[in-house]
Amino acid sequence: MHTNFKGRDLLTLAELTPEDLTHVLDVAEAPAARWPSFAGSSAALIFMKPSLRTRVSFEVGCVQLGVHPIVMGPYDAFSRHETVHDTIKVLERYVDLIVLRTFAHSHVEEVAEHASVPVINALTDDFHPCQGLADLLTIRQHKGALQGLRLAYVGDGNNMAHTYLLAGALAGMDVVVATPEGYEPARHAVAQASDLAARYVTGSRFEVMRDPAAAVAGADVVVTDTWASMGQEEEHDRRLRDFAGYQVDAAVMGKADPAAIFMHCLPAHRGEEVSDEVIDSARSVVFDEAENRLHAQRAWMSLVL
């Protein structure tokens, strides 16, 4: 049985149990007639980084739940040398929920430490749990179930790679990460995923390797992400060289299961980490995935408010 969600933070997927995860995905698919209303509530949506999908999906999700969204940029929220503690102690007097998209994961942890209202990590350099929920929802919709699937992630061992490891651990999926030397996911993320899989006996297995073709072989889900994330633009040319051979193209997709789907959290750098032929193919579900950000986040907000 899932636990009570009211008032809970979402900083990483590791805070969920497999039962919690299933319940959130079930709520995400509930028809509009069953959405609760939180008229009179408000949410602070703080964006330290640019955003398209995250901002629009959270704003629309808030409105659908009757929550007034207050969108704030870096100069609105954390400026003029005011401490995080003081900023949050003011904000919590006004709003019922804080959503933060930022750089260091320690930033969202500090906000959650001081806030008496729920805090949602809308992306940090280490984790992206909202995208993880949306992606699991997408996989479940296209594959019917999550348990026993093989997810192959090709590319940078970044916040999405970390998130897929934790997602796989909770969902009973095997996760294989193919990445060049020096770009592996953090060891603590791999260890945490293994610990979660053991704790909940989900049977998930994890592997980090170099060869994209070997990682994708027989995979049910093939995923990639940009090679240079926000804040890494100055590394772009070097990363293009380092990631040569890691593009998900038709040849790589051809190694996957014939019924495999392709996913990308977007924005995609077409011609770099993925070819047009793959992202525009019938196997690509990237726009279902983008839509599911709205459904997954609305579900989580409805549970914690």
Q: 173 with 143, same domain?
A: yes
Residue 2 lies in a domain: no
| Residue 43's CATH number | 3.40.50.1370
Residue 46 lies in a domain: yes
Specify the pLDDT at position 14. 98
Enter the tokens of residue 11.
Answer: 């900083």
Residue 227 lies in a domain: yes
Phi, psi of 10 (to 5 degrees): -130, 95
DSSP state letters, 39-104? TT-EEEEEESS--SHHHHHHHHHHHHTTPEEEEE-HHHHS-TT--HHHHHHHHHHH-SEEEEE-S-
Residue 113 lies in a domain: yes
Q: Report whether 133 contacts 25 (CB < 8 A).
A: yes
Distance (Å, whole) CA 22 – CA 225: 25
Distance (Å, whole) CA 81 – CA 197: 42
Q: 281 with 141, same domain?
A: yes
Q: 76 with 139, same domain?
A: no
Quick: pLDDT tens for 30-46: 999 999 999 999 999 99
HSE-CB at 293 with a 13 A cutoff on CA atoms is: 25
Quick: pLDDT tens for 43-73: 999 999 999 999 999 999 999 999 999 999 9
Q: 158 with 70, same domain?
A: no
Residue 273 lies in a domain: yes
Distance (Å, whole) CA 75 – CA 47: 10
Collapsed DSSP state (helix, strand, coil) of residue 150: strand
Dihedral of CA atoms 227, 231, 236, 240 in degrees, nearest 10, equals: -10
Residue 7 lies in a domain: no
Q: 248 with 162, same domain?
A: yes
Residue 1 lies in a domain: no
Q: 111 with 56, same domain?
A: yes
HSE-CB at 209 with a 13 A cutoff on CA atoms is: 13
Q: 227 with 99, same domain?
A: no
Q: 24 with 76, same domain?
A: yes
Domain range for 257 is 131-289
Q: 237 with 269, same domain?
A: yes
Distance (Å, whole) CA 231 – CA 156: 14
Quick: pLDDT tens for 98-142: 999 999 999 999 999 999 999 999 999 999 999 999 999 999 999
When divided into structural domains, the chain yields a total of: 2
Q: 148 with 264, same domain?
A: yes
pLDDT at 2 over 70: no
DSSP state letters, 105-117? HHHHHHHHHH-SS
Quick: pLDDT tens for 219-274: 999 999 999 876 667 788 899 999 999 999 999 999 999 999 999 999 999 999 99
Distance (Å, whole) CA 130 – CA 238: 29
Enter the tokens of residue 135.
Answer: 């992606």
pTM of the model: 0.97
User: Which residues contact residue 189 at a Cβ distance below 8 angstroms, ignoring those fewer than 6 apart?
Assistant: 126, 161, 162, 165, 166
Specify the pLDDT at position 64. 98
Enter the tokens of residue 50.
Answer: 């640019």
Q: 165 with 268, same domain?
A: yes
Enter the tokens of residue 6.
Answer: 């009211």
Q: 161 with 104, same domain?
A: no
Residue 214 lies in a domain: yes
Vertex 279 angle, CA 275 and 285, to 5°? 160
HSE-CB at 235 with a 13 A cutoff on CA atoms is: 12
Per-chain mean pLDDT for the chain: 96
Q: Which residues are catalytic?
A: 101, 128, 131, 225, 265, 293
